[in-house]
A and B are shown apart, each in its own frame.
Chain A
């Protein structure tokens, strides 16, 4: 039996690893406040929102489709939950209904794309507008607040810190990990468990690679596709829950533009738009990397509009990297090898 050892390949490591590495080093050097426990705590907390969105986006991308409506779903489910809290609905019900709304909207996306055979880009582009519209109408385009009382004490509890380590006196020297981060960690773990230990990965890769092959193998491709969109909607709803808990209110436009960042994070993580392959770990790193860029820039006092420009450039860079690393991998490895091992070693492995 010929044992196959997986050769070390640059293309196996997600691009996001490098970006994260580079950003962390650059940021730590350039922006003194970056590497503080306080900032890192904030980083992890804030990026959780993006993380959940990107996870859903990666799954959809792996099936060869895209979900541009996640930002809109975040806004919409957030408004739904916040409005219910304002009407004194017990928190647990408000959350349940909010999550359910996300799932249902995702199912609608899935149905439009599988049963009506509409292209996923334009369909989710349209539903993005519809979801955001609903959010704006229900909230009358104003931030939604609610009174803190006994029915929604859960919200308050969840917003507290789970771990708090004080390295010093000031805020920036305190490392805090909120329950929200814990929730995110749990969700991510569950999803990754399902991905690696059940048929989820095979199904998703098969559908993305060639729907015909998947169908011939007996896979109910339409059901799975709808399910993935439902999952994406659910994760978007969870992300909006995080926002709601953290800020104790909800702006109806919170989700606007987040779908773009989710795509960037997923692409940085090595996921492609064609599908059939991809990495969830890469996405985690991608979301962290992207958020680090945002955080470092805002700490350095750079305006949000410039951040927009940078993120746009990062996307282009990420896609270009995905392409070129594969193509020039051998050359790059060769160059790295000769640098590290010295000229005498040449190219032979």
Chain B
């Protein structure tokens, strides 16, 4: 089969971190080429170079034998490269057909008026080809995530796509929806479209992939035909080292209950009951949209909840009052640390001190010396890479930013930590630092709830795992039961399989 594209010796460096180092990969016509690796291995960076969002520092990109210099999103569009991201590129208020033809609408006989009938027919045809049972006139806002994804694919096809890149396409789909997606992918193969498929779900790769490439720490480890490799070999290549090395947490005997969540309900989740004991790291797993972050925010008090209660160290916590929650020893580290965890324009000192500022200065007047002293002590303790506390947090690397957020809560002498995606977007080297910190906190008696979509991380770090599915607590797994299969099974257990919803999502 002829080569559709070739990326040769691609190198890409960001300030402080080497994202890609001499990575070479190619894509054949009609092939599904799977890319796997841990978070931060370089998969999305590589694909962003392909889509023109980033420029590679070294190496070359060729499409159908012709080298492409200075790729940008427009060029990539023209070359037939389409990305299907998790955050979909659709306009909710417009209809399916308007979205499909966005930017290249069909017009009447060379004038400015839209040929709506033709667009409808053509849209129907494309959707039909992929066996997608959606009426083109439906507004996208009424569609479920699965349906929207299908519309994305149809949209890509309508504008002569040659190369599709799927980025974690199944993270929000039910098993029947996944089957539909795979059917579409198979039919795409027959039309000579080449596809990159990024996913964590190892068993899926064996169902849909032709070849697989493993990335680790920015380097390509291997490229093989799916037929020629087993799951265990794959896992070995992905991790590259013993599981215990990466995830240092050794399960201890848990102490008393520090956080007790009872029957918590709101619009996004129902009847959540869980507890956290001192010395534990408890994982919270589930699909995107299962309601985990929403529940965490409600527990901490940023959002409201309708019924149920939260008790910390025996004391009942008032609703919707993050200030009191913080004072009582609860802490929340949001999943988007840049947008939600830090004030990027402010410096390290200001960010560390903010949550505990009233405890530090009970008479409401700030003493700059004391403030700097305290902040510096945390910088040293957590090994935050910054010359002084005056450095603006926006200039820190992801790992160090996360450490600042952790320092912020250490200052308040928090006893319960809720981490939401603690290592997202952090390179592998820094990750182990975060894991050691979490382990140490647990050793010192803290209770940790770790919300994560990274299954290896959940399996490696948790003493036990709660799984949420579509807003409901689907179950709890302990000990040897903590496996990818069991967790996924619970995660899918309450997800519906419709295409059209009555909610405007």
Binding site for B on A (CB under 8 A): 1-4, 7, 11, 197-199, 201-202, 205-206, 209-210, 213-219, 276-277
Contact = CB atoms under 8 A, between A and B. Distances in A.
A219 B113 contact: no
Contacts of A217: 89, 102-104
Contact of B92 (A1, A7, A209, A218): A209
A208 to B, nearest CB: 9
**Which 7 A-B residue pairs are closest in the complex by CB-CB distance?**
A217-B103, A218-B103, A277-B93, A4-B138, A217-B102, A4-B135, A213-B89
A206 B101 CA distance: 12
Contacts of A216: 73, 77, 89
Nearest to B98: A202
B499 A2 contact: yes
Interface string B73-106: 1100100000000000111111000100011110
Given A4-B137, A213-B90, 10 more contacts: A1-B124, A4-B134, A11-B504, A199-B114, A201-B98, A202-B105, A205-B94, A210-B91, A276-B91, A276-B93
B475 interface: no
13 contacts: A198-B113, A202-B105, A205-B91, A210-B91, A213-B89, A214-B103, A215-B73, A216-B73, A216-B77, A217-B103, A218-B74, A218-B77, A277-B93
Contacts of B92: 209, 276-277
B152 to A, nearest CB: 11
A173 B189 CA distance: 74
Which label, helix, strand, loop or mixed, suits the secondary structure of the B interface?
Answer: loop
B90 to A, nearest CB: 8
A61 to B, nearest CB: 13
Nearest to A7: B502
Which among B73, B92, B103 has the greatest number of chain A C-beta atoms within 10 A? B103
Interface string B41-73: 000000000000000000000000000000001
B474 interface: no
A1 B77 contact: no
Q: How large is the interface on B (under 10, 10 to 19, 20 to 34, 35 or more residues)?
A: 20 to 34
A64 B500 CA distance: 27
Nearest to B89: A213
Contact of B103 (A11, A197, A219): A219
A225 B63 CA distance: 34
Given A4-B135, A197-B113, A198-B112, A209 B93 contact: yes
Contacts of A213: 89-91
A202 B137 CA distance: 14
A202 B104 CA distance: 11
Contact of A209 (B77, B91, B103): B91
Contacts of B345: none
A219 B135 CA distance: 25
Nearest to B128: A1
A1 B123 CA distance: 13
A11 B504 CA distance: 11
A223 B90 CA distance: 21
B133 interface: yes
A202 B94 contact: yes
B77 A197 contact: no
A154 B74 CA distance: 50
Contacts of B91: 202, 205-206, 209-210, 213, 276
Contacts of B74: 218
A219 B91 CA distance: 13
Contact of B94 (A1, A4, A206, A219): A206
A189 to B, nearest CB: 15
A31 to B, nearest CB: 38
B142 interface: yes
Contacts of B103: 214, 217-219
A198 B499 CA distance: 29
Contacts of A1: 124, 128, 133-135
Nearest to A278: B93
A277 B135 CA distance: 21
A136 B89 CA distance: 47
A205 B93 contact: yes
A71 to B, nearest CB: 28
A199 B502 contact: no
A202 B139 CA distance: 12
Which among B74, B91, B133, B500 has the greatest number of chain A C-beta atoms within 10 A? B91
